[in-house]
Every structure is written in structure tokens, then in C-alpha cells.
Structure 1
Amino acid sequence: MQGGHYGVPLERSDYLKLTRNRNSCKPERFAKWLEGFGSGKRLAVDLFSGAGGLSLGLQRAGWTVAAAVDFDERALETHAANFPGMSLHMDLGNPDERDRLEQVLEPAKGKIDLVAGGPPCQPFSRAGRSKIRNLVEYHGRDPHDRRKELWSAYLDVVRRLEPRAVLMENVPDMGLGDDFFVVRTIEQQLEELGYATQVRLVDAWRYGVPQHRKRLILLARKDVDKFEWRQELAEEDRTTLRDAIGDLPELPVVPTERVGDREWAYSADPSELSSFATDMRKWARRGVVFDHMTRRVRKDDWEIFDGMDSRTLYSEISPELQRYDVKHFTDKYKKLGWGELSRSITAHIAKDGYWYIHPDQNRTLTVREAARVQTFPDRFRFAGTRSDAFRQIGNAVPPLLGQAAAEVLWPTDQGLAEGALQPHWRTVRRELTLWAERQREGDEWYQLPKLSPLHAAVVAILSGTRVQPAQMYKMVETIRERSSLTKNAFLALLEAAPTDAARARVDRLSVVVGKSRVWQQPEEVPGHLGMKPGEQRLYQLLTDNDLLWIGQGALRVAARLNGSESDRTNKLSDGRVDLVKLVGAGEEAPLRMAALRLIGDTLCLARQPLCERCPLSAFCASRDEVSGDLFSDAVSGTHGRAAVPAQTGDPERRTATRR
């Protein structure tokens, strides 16, 4: 029967039922499994495992997955068929289920070496952050909307199992959407449990995955403060789409007819296989490729696909063939290129394959091709229908990426004595906090939280004006003892303003002169003053809101301490990751963030940085490179006297100016 507006017969593929792995086990047999198959092996638990992409990565890196946990029954059927150990159907958002998991794993108490997983982590809006500390305190047992706090459930399991190492994987948007608030909170909690941690954004193709895919990886370990990744692939050595799927058999494509099948003849000459394809073919049945099938192709789609190449935009398709509004569906169709990386495989592929059109066959990618691009080997089968398989593949962690991350956590011979671990970034944050507290007690008080709404508003409004630090200090001192802006205080501010530009900024405050109620509602102050976005964020930071200040100075400090160039290359992604290592989480995070802004604007300068006065210089990976032979210049006083933006200031410079 013709499928109406679909243009092809409606078709539901057969259901592939898989038998369990011969070394899998049920909970009641777990103790025996540990004595048998699991004996002497390094054991891992995979939470939110899905079909097992990360489990396979752990396996390739040397671990045996003793238990995988997920709520998706189809994915668990896939996992049970492909892995030994237990595949457990549980809702980890339910504390009772976590109690049950702990009971099931009781026979392995003290033997679980690694807990891994990719918990769904919805970003927290700033409006909801006031509730987060209570939520963390109760380890996710707060009943309100548990599904959104599965990361807290993940931490709860880590607390219960006390593994040596932890691996968490997720998409970067998890961090970028809320200034990495959830990520920083997780990292802080792990550090309080005694782990050294590392947060990193990783391009999956750097580790052999043939697609554009950036993932956020959080690693933690209790044995050493050491996270050494293997060398990344150079761009010329990346795995292209041709390397990944070029050996798979061509399929006849007739519009509206079935495309491919569960089993298809495979006759590639092993001598012509890429190293990637050779790896994917290991232990697969000879002469057969499984699940090489995809959706039927509409007649108009066949014509569209036939006229496209990898650079064709949807708006360039013949108008009479376009079915979607080009304004809203600018990238609705994407033909892949043989010599390129694939577009990132996501769960959307289960709905349609228009983002994944084969380079020279007028069809979308098959299940097996999508699995190859995700780096699942050909022996790996997916339970359920064709759509089930696409969804499981799209939701998975690419196994080769999982392997690369897991390898970083392999035990070393350099273990530390009990209690001797001093995580590097926790030490850096402690020094930064101590320095900031000293500055807050001195002349830099107006640069750091917790300012009153009035003081924060004045500093934010004046930000960007280039005046001498001593002059800025004089201005804010006129209102230091005030909580609202009286007429006399406003006139004193105007009189202290050294330039026309500064006076113009101060004049913006005239709309709130004498209105004491304005300052009793801090969140509404930016609106009253018409603050620009940058001014508003600075105001929020100085009033002790937890956010990342993505200013050039702070990014420069973070990049130099990390020995990277993120302040000049990927400011909004890698730059933020470098920054969060220094900011951390908790009550003092805003203070550290403001301190980094201050250091970046007054000490860690782009040219001629004052390394000898920076409180973090002992931890700076770039000090030798950026300071050069400037120490002698600093001693002789030949630099450091230039005017700086009004939001910055250094006590020693102010003293020199007064003299």
C-alpha cells in the first residue's frame, strides 16, 4: 500500500531478537560469575549504558564490564547479547533503585575499579541555582523532577561503590548551556570524595572516529594526579568516510523499493581494506555483512540525491523538489563526502536519514554504515527494529573515543600512599581563594564579590572606561559606606570622575538617585539602568552570582596556566573548559572568577606579564615562555605603568600614582 504523503510504502522492519552473551549473568548468579568469568579481571560498571558504546570502549581498554544499567529495554537486550556480566533494567533516578543496585553489586564490594557512564545532564538555569546546593547535599534524593538530576544519581552510585576511577561522558552543550555549572558541581563533589579530576573537550576524530563529534569527558581517579592521553591523530591521518565504509557492498537503489537487508553478501578483498575497516571486520562472520539496510527512497528524494554533492545546500535544490521551508530547514539534506569526516551521528538518524546521504548511492546510510561511523565493529548486532538500531547507534558513545578516555585511567606503577593525593587544580583553587580574600580586605575590595547592588552597579557602569586605577579607587571610595544613591553621593561620584567619558557613565545613574527601593531588589537593577549584556554579567558576578566571566584577561590566565592557546583559538569551548578548572564550584566560585578577571587585567598581561607578582605563577605551565627575560625589566621598573580599564586596578600601581 502506498504511504500517502510519505511517497513510499509504509514499512516496519522485522524485529531482531538476540540471544544473551554466553558469559552474561543474572543478579542471583553474580557471586558465582565473580568467582568464574570475572575472577582476576579489572571490573567496571557502566551507568546509563545504552547499547554499550562506552562498555565496548572500556573492554577495548582492558576492563571487564561487570554490570551495565539503563532504562531502555531494547538497548539492554543489545548490551546483554554483546557483553558478559549483568545488563540491568533500572531507573537510577529512583533512590530505591540505587539501593537495589548497591545490593546487587554487594558481592563485588571493593572490586569495582571503574564507574563509567553518560548521565543525561540538563543545564541548570541561573534562576534555579539557589536550589542546587540542597539537591547535592541530599545526593539527588530531592523528589522534585528527578529525571533532570540523573547526574546526581550518578554521583550517588560513585559514593556507594567507591571505585578507584570514574569516567563521565556527555555533549559539550551540557556545560556551555549553564556556564559549566553542573560540570563544576560534579567535579567539586568528586574532589571532596578524594579524587583528582580532569575535564576535557575532545574531538572524537582525533582518536580515530570518522566523524565530526566533540564530546565532554570528565575523568577522576584516586591513585595518582595524572591524566595522560595518548597522542592525538594529525589531520592528515584522520579516518575518512571512505576508510570507514568504502569497503561495504553497493546496494541497488530503486525508488520506493526496499534497500538492503539483514544479511548481505560481502566479498571485499582483505588486501584492499583500510586499517579501520580491517579492525571493524575482526571476528565478524566471513562473507556476510549484517544489517546493511536503510529506508526506502522516495522518487523525488532519489532525484534530489542524484543532483547533490557534499557542498550542496538545501536552498540550492531545485525549488519544485523542495518540500520544506528553506528559511527554517537550511541544512535539511546533507550528502556526505568520501574524503571527509561524516556529520556527527545522533539519535535523530532514527527519524530520518537526510543528514546522512551516501556519497554516491542515492540513499541514506544503512544501519551497518552508521554503526561503522560510530566505530561499532561488524560483529556487533542491535536488537529490535531498524529504527531501534538507528536510535541505539545515535545515542551511543563511539567505542574508540571511549577506549581513548578509559586508557587514561589505567592504573600506574606510581601509586601514592593513602591520603597523600593532592589534586593539582584543587591546590590552585585554594591558593587563588586565599589571594582573593586578602585582596578583598585591601584596596581591591570593589573588584571582588560580595558587593552591594549599588557598588556593583557603579563598577559595572564604569567598566570599559580607561582611567588610572587610583582614580577609579577614588570614585568608588566616595560611595563605600552607602547602600543607596543619594543626591550628594551622586554629585560626589560626578566630581571624582576624571574624564568626560567617565562622567557620561556616571550620569546614567541619575535615573535611580534618591530611589532607595531600587537597591532592595538586586535582580532588577540592571533593567533600571539599561545595562548592556557585558555590564549586566559583571554586575551579577560582583553581587556573588555563580557565572563564568568570558573576558580576554581571565581566559588568558586560564590558558597560560593550562599551557594551551584556548584564549586565542576556541574561547567559547576549550577556553571555558580551561577556565572552569580554576573557578571550580561552591560558595567561593564567584570570588575565584572575579579574582581571575582581576589577575588577567592587572598582572597576567598580554605583553610583559608581571609573573613575579602573580599568585598563580608557581602553577603556570607557560611562565617560562611568556615571561622570558622580563624579570630584570620588572625589577628596574620599566613596565607596568600604563593606564588600564577602570574595572581593573593593582594596589602597588595606585601607590605609585599617588606619589
Structure 2
Amino acid sequence: MKIPIIDIFAGPGGLCEGFSNIPSNNKQVFESKLSIEMDSNAHKTLELRSFFRKFSRKNVPDEYYQVMRESDIERRETLKEELYKRYPKQAKQAQEEAWCTTLGVVPAKEVDRRIQTALKGEKNWVLIGGPPCQAYSLVGRSRRQWKENLDKKDVRVHLYKEYLRIIAKHSPAVFVMENVKGLLSSKIDGVKIFEFIKRDLSNPAIVFKDAEYKYKIYSLTTNPVEFDSEDQPLYNSDLDFLIRSEEYGIPQKRHRVILLGIREDVKVIPDILGKSSNPVTLKDVIGDLPKIRSGINRSFVKSEMINGKKKRYYKTAVDSDQNWSDLTNSFRSEIISWNGFAKKYDLLEINTPKQGVGEEFIKCDTPKKINPLYSWFHDQNLEGAANHQSRTHLVQDLKRYMFSSMFAKTYGRFPRLHEFEEHGNELLPDHENAKSGKFTDRFRVQLPNEPATTITSHISKDGHYFIHYDPEQCRSLTVREAARVQTFPDNYLFCGSRTAQYHQVGNAVPPLLAKKIAEIVLKVLMQNV
């Protein structure tokens, strides 16, 4: 009997992917029964991945891989529909599992009906997911000048109560709730929202009077120091609920709050995550992907103030291998001439990568067996890399990217914005806050020999915080590289436009971390039998 999973606020399905990869005797242990997500592109990704999981790994139809190998996004959608028509049973199951709707808006009765239909009376099931986190984000609060206190009118602050309502109504044996680090410091009327959330989750009847069970709320990183009079685990600090992903074999410094709730009748104290002895670095996981160049879209000409507003003027730039080569080599030669850079570089020209700007699918041999996550990423039927195409950049940004990656190679760290100005005024962007000191890390190259910084949904807007470490590629990370950092398997296809793909990857829980959490959950449920 497989253990049912209900995934809400699912994003592209990172948590569910981890749980779905726990085998026992080569058979799936957890089975996703319902995934709820409001974003239409993420929903398409969920639906396609659900379809993939309806087959054993040895029997995934080649037509699935034909969808993945298609470089034209519109044509890929057509192939996907043809795939579903060819395998109608599995397609129907996937469409029933992946539900595109907005929790908190759709009637609760409809949510409850879907959950009850999916569970078929099973009591020992797992709820996973996390409410939208923008309202708790440290960056978000800074941008809104909130300081400590959240806006009580912001509906996202209270969406966790929809998660709580489902717990109260349907009583999962275990739940896993993920959110951002800012949750730990957020306050309403001077009281930490984290205390409210832990209190409500441990006793849903505080909010929903018909709740049948209480829950014990555990950390996944630290054993409790003791238990209180109601047998609730106690910890020294709220920071004990913070998971620093890089400490657990994830190639990313992603710090997230994850709560493990266990129903009071499940008399098991869970294990905690085991730390990895060696970090997995960025180069470890993306260094074996095909080299590609950045695209070019336009060049900044000038700006002027008109009626109190700055108007910027651009001209179209030619996006060709030759123009890219001419630009990057000229930038490189100039930077080498600056003090401190020449010692690390010779004067050989940068060769344009043979794959150009890349494609939605590139036929290649990746990952290599030296990749520490080879067995996790690899699918021998794929024969290449999907979602591996560079975005286009402003010509002046190419110079900034070149400077950033060369600086990092020379000094072993990324340059701060004042160091851009020290080397050349033209390196500073034409923005009012360029010299304000607020965004000193505006152009951040990712260092090759350590885990990457947190992949966030901001990567969908620009690549300035996610510059590739290789000066000879002079670009930001691709969707596939970001997906590797997030530990999505290579046969996981992200649907929608490239912007939508970036957004999905940035919002996800790393599947490999989710798998490690799932192993703990499985042990809890097996000990309870």
C-alpha cells in the first residue's frame, strides 16, 4: 500500500519530487494523489511530471523524451498534447492529480471533496507544501519599509490558515510545512508570527473547533532538549527550525524554515537530517553542462531627465557569434589591462562556444560520472540537456558580467558595486540607487568552488545575482543550471516561457533535500505500524 501525499501551494513540485523518489524493493513508497497550484505554468509542469510518474522508470514512453528534446516551445506543447492522447489513461490520472486553483479563493467544500476523493479513506497520509512566502520575506519587508511588523491586511500572511484548515479537517499523520527564513522574525502587533503558527499547528482546534487531533511540531535539524507537560517538543531557539541546505549535500546556500508535524497518536520521535561531510559546489553540478554564450539584445546610448523622470535611450545590437566575440574579447583585453587582473589571464582570444546561445534542448553527454549528483540527475534516455538556453543581455551588462567573473577568478570573491566604480565609471549601471549603498551586491557572480547562493524567483527578472563564474561564457545562469542547483533531475521539464521556467525553479524546494526529509517521514510511519 503506497502512502498518499497531498501537495498544496505546490509550485513546480520540488517537495513532491523528493517524496516520490523513495523506493522500497524498487517500488515507489509515497504516491502523489493531489497537487494544488495556482500558477498555470507551474501547473503544466506538475501535470507533465505526474504523467511521467505513472510509468516505471524502465517504461517511460519515448514520446515523453521527444517532448523534452523539442527545442521549439510551441511545438513542444503540441507534442505534449499528442503524448497525452496516445496514453489517455495516464494522462487522465495526471490531470486529476494536478489541480490548478487558488486556495483561499476556491470554496473549501470543493477542496475537501477533492482531498477525500484522493485519499479514499486512508488515515496515514502526508500533507506537504508551504503557503506563499512573499509576505514573510526579509527582502520583501525591506522593500516595503515594514521593518518588523507585517501588514495584517496582506492576505498572504494568513494563507497558512488554509494549510491549517486542511490539517484540522483531514488529519494527516504527518505534515511538512516550508517557508522562508523571514518567518522567524516576522511580527504582528509586536508578537512573533512564528509563535502563532507553531501554536495553531500543534492544536488546530484553537482556530477550527472541529479539529480531532493535536500535533507535535519537530525540527528536522536538532533534537528537542525536552518535552513540556503536553508532550510538545521544546527547543533552545527558533533557529533550530532553519535548514541550511548546503550542510545537507545541496549545492546551494538556501536557508528555509521547515516544520515537521506528527499527529499525536503517532508515538514516534523522528530522526534529524544527517549533515554531509563535504559541500557540493556549483561547479560540481553545472560544470559538465555545454558551454554557451550570452545573447545580446540592445546597447545603452544615453539618458536624460524629462519632466522629472529619467528617460533612457537604447539601440538594437546585433546578436551574432561574431559580434559577441568582438565585444567580449575587447572587454576582456581592457579588463586585463587594469591593475590586478593580468596575473590570472593570457591574451588568447575567447572562442565562441559551438552551441551558441544554447537551446531548449541540446544533445550532449551530461551529466558526467564525476558529477557528485550523477545518479540523481542522470537519465540515459534523455541524451542531452533541456531548458539550457541563455537569456539576452544589454551590451553594457556583458562588460559588467565579464568584469565580475574575472574579478572573482582573480580575488576569489564577487566585486561590490563600489569596486565597479573604482575600475571604471562605465561599469556602474545608470540607476538612481547605484551609489546609494543599498545594493552593493547588485552584480553577483556565483563562485565555482562553493555552493551557490539562494536561487530565488527574482532570477526570472534578470540574471544580475546569478552570473556564471566562467568569463568565457559571460552570462547569467540558464534555467537548467538553476535547476541543477535546486537538484531537479535532468528529465524534469519546466513548462511555459523561459521567464516562467525561471520563476518556477526559483520558487521550488530542492527535491534532493525533500527526499532526505521523506526518508525521515517514512521511518516515522513505518515505526508506527
TM-score between both structures, scaled by the size of structure 1: 0.51
Q: Which residue of 1 aligns with 2:107?
A: 97
Of 512, 517, 529, 1:400 maps to 512
Stretches of structure 1 lacking an aligned partner (at least 5 in a row)? 1-39, 133-143, 417-659
1:168 aligns with one of 167, 171, 177? 177
Partner of 1:332: 442
Q: Counterpart in 2 of 1:316?
A: 419
Q: Report if aligned partners of 1:224, 1:415 keep a CA contact under 8 Å in 2.
A: yes
What secondary structure does 2:426 align onto? helix
Shift of 1:147: 4.0
User: Is the CA contact (8 Å cut-off) linking 1:196 and 1:225 kept in structure 2?
Assistant: no
For 2:389 and 2:526, how far apart are their aligned partners in 1? 48
Give, in angstroms, the shift of residue 261 of structure 1: 1.0
Q: Secondary structure at the match of 1:335?
A: coil
Q: Where does residue 594 of structure 1 map in the other structure?
A: none
* 2:180 is the counterpart of 1:219: no
Match of 1:415 in 2: 528
The residue type paired with residue 302 of structure 1 is L
Q: Quote the Cα distance in structure 2 between the aligned partners of 1:114 and 1:170.
A: 17
What do the CA deviations read for 1:105-154 (whole angstroms, capped 9, x no partner)? 2232432610111112545999999x99xxxxxxxxxxx76443110011
- SS state at 1:88 partner: strand
* Cα deviation digits, residues 281-338 of structure 1 (max 9, x gap): 235502x211111211332222222222332222212212211413233111011111
Distance 1:126 1:293 in 2: 39
1:191 and 1:329 mapped to 2: Cα distance? Answer: 40
| Whole-angstrom CA distance in 1 between matches of 2:366 and 2:484 | 16
Matches within 5 A, 1:449-468: none
- What code does the residue aligned with 2:444 have? K
User: Which residue is 2:200 aligned to?
Assistant: 189
Q: Quick check: 1:44–1:63 contact (8 Å CA) kept in 2?
A: yes
CA distance in 2, matches of 1:297, 1:128: 38
Q: For 1:255-299, what per-residue CA distance to the aligned partner results, in whole angstroms no more than 9, with x for missing partners?
A: 44372211113135844x31213421235502x211111211332
Which of the two has higher C-alpha Rg? 1
Q: Determine the structure 1 residue equivalent to 2:462.
A: 352
Amino acid at match of 1:351: K
Say if 1:315 and 1:145 are closer, same or farther in 2 by CA, change over 3 A.
closer
Does the CA-based 8 Å contact 1:196-1:224 persist in structure 2? no
Which of the pair is proportionally richer in strand?
A: 2
Separation in structure 2 between the aligned mates of residue 116 and residue 164 of structure 1, nearest angstrom: 11
Provide the C-alpha distance between the structure 2 equivalents of 1:116 and 1:90, rounded to a whole number of angstroms. 17
Cα shift readout 1:446-481 (whole Å, capped 9, x = no counterpart): xxxxxxxxxxxxxxxxxxxxxxxxxxxxxxxxxxxx
1:87: which partner in 2?
98
Q: Which of 491, 495, 500 in structure 2 is aligned with 1:379?
A: 491
Amino acid at match of 1:169: E
Deviation at 1:45, TM superposition (A): 0.3
Q: Corresponding residue for 1:305?
A: 401
The one-character-per-residue Cα deviations of 1:73-97 (angstroms, maximum 9, x if unpaired) are 1111110000255111222113x52
Answering whether residue 358 of structure 2 is matched by residue 260 of structure 1, we say yes
Alpha-carbon separation, structure 2, partners of 1:340 and 1:183:
31
Q: Quick one: structure 1 residues 284 and 47, their matched pair in 2 at CA, closer, same or farther if it must change by over 3 Å?
A: farther
SS of residue matched to 1:409: helix
Report the counterpart of residue 302 of structure 2 in structure 1. none
Identity %: 29
Counting only pairs closer than 5 Å after superposition, residues 120-159 of structure 1 correspond to structure 2 as 120=132, 122=135, 146-159=155-168
Go from structure 1 to structure 2 and tell me whether the alpha carbon gap of 1:340 and 1:262 turns closer, same or farther (over 3 Å shift).
same
Name the structure 1 match of 2:288.
Answer: 247
Q: Does the residue aligned with 2:21 lie in a helix, a strand or coil? A: helix
Work out whether residues 240 and 338 of structure 1, in 8 Å CA contact, stay in contact via their aligned partners in 2.
yes
> Following the alignment from structure 2 to structure 1, what is the Cα–Cα distance between the partners of residues 419 and 169?
56
Paired AA for residue 280 in structure 2: T
Q: Which amino acid aligns with 1:281?
A: H
Give yes or no for contact 2:268–2:527 (8 Å, CA) kept in 1: no
Change (3 A) 1:55 1:307: same
Residue identity in the other structure for 1:393: V
Matches within 5 A, 1:485-500: none
Per the alignment, in what secondary structure is the counterpart of residue 443 of structure 2?
Answer: coil
1:207 to 2:217 alignment: no
Contact 1:240 1:341 in 2 (8 A): yes
Distance (whole Å) between structure 1 residues aligned to residue 294 and residue 113 of structure 2: 53
- Between the aligned partners of 1:182 and 1:225, the Cα distance in structure 2 is 27
Residue 119 (str. 1) matches residue 140 (str. 2): no
Residues 338/59 of structure 1: CA separation in 2 closer, same or farther (3 Å cut): same
Structure 1 distance, partners of 2:17, 2:508, is 10
Aligned to 1:293, which of 370, 374, 389? 389
Alignment of 1:583-622 (within 5 A): none
Conserved 8 A contact 1:260-1:294: yes
Structure 2 CA distance for partners of 1:283 and 1:195, relative to 1, 3 Å: farther
CA offset digits 1:227-248 (Å, max 9, x no partner): 21231113xx111011110100
Distance 2:508 2:109 in 1: 26
Alpha-carbon distance change, 373 to 100 in structure 1, aligned in 2, over 3 angstroms: same
Paired amino acid for 1:114: V
Q: Are the equivalent residues in 2 in contact too, given 1:167–1:218 (CA < 8 A)?
A: yes
Unaligned runs of 5+ in 2: 23-28, 52-93, 204-212, 220-240, 298-318, 320-355
* Letter of the structure 1 residue corresponding to residue 457 of structure 2: A
Give 3-state SS (helix, strand or coil) of 2:47's partner: helix
* CA distance in structure 2 between the aligned counterparts of 1:180 and 1:239, rounded to whole angstroms: 38
Match of 2:276 among 233, 237, 242: 233
TM-score by length of 2: 0.63
Q: 1:285 to 1:119 in 2, by over 3 A?
A: same
C-alpha distance in structure 2 between counterparts of 1:126 and 1:304, whole Å: 32
Number of aligned residues = 360
Partners of 2:372 and 2:191 lie apart in 1 by 38
CA offsets 1:550-599 (integer angstroms, 9 cap, x no match)? xxxxxxxxxxxxxxxxxxxxxxxxxxxxxxxxxxxxxxxxxxxxxxxxxx
Distance 1:66 1:149 in 2: 25
Q: Distance in 1 between matches of 2:128 and 2:295?
A: 44
Amino acid at match of 1:396: A
Alpha-carbon distance in 1 for matches of 2:506, 2:148: 32
Contact 2:103/2:162 (<8 A) preserved:
yes
User: What is the deviation of 1:184?
Assistant: 2.3
Q: Distance between the aligned counterparts of 1:127 and 1:251, measured in 2?
A: 43
The aligned counterpart of 2:35 is 68
Match of 1:280 among 377, 382, 389: 377
Deviates further, 276-285 or 120-129: 120-129
Q: 1:128 to 1:211 in 2, by over 3 A?
A: closer
Greater helix percent: which structure?
1
User: How far apart, CA to CA, are the structure 1 residues paired with 2:458 and 2:120?
Assistant: 39
Is 2:400–2:443's contact at 8 Å kept on the other side of the alignment?
no
Aligned equivalent of 1:25? none
SS in 2 for 1:307: helix
**Alpha-carbon separation, structure 2, partners of 1:180 and 1:249:** 50
Partner secondary structure for residue 102 of structure 2? coil
Distance 1:233-1:224 versus aligned 2 partners, 3 A rule: same
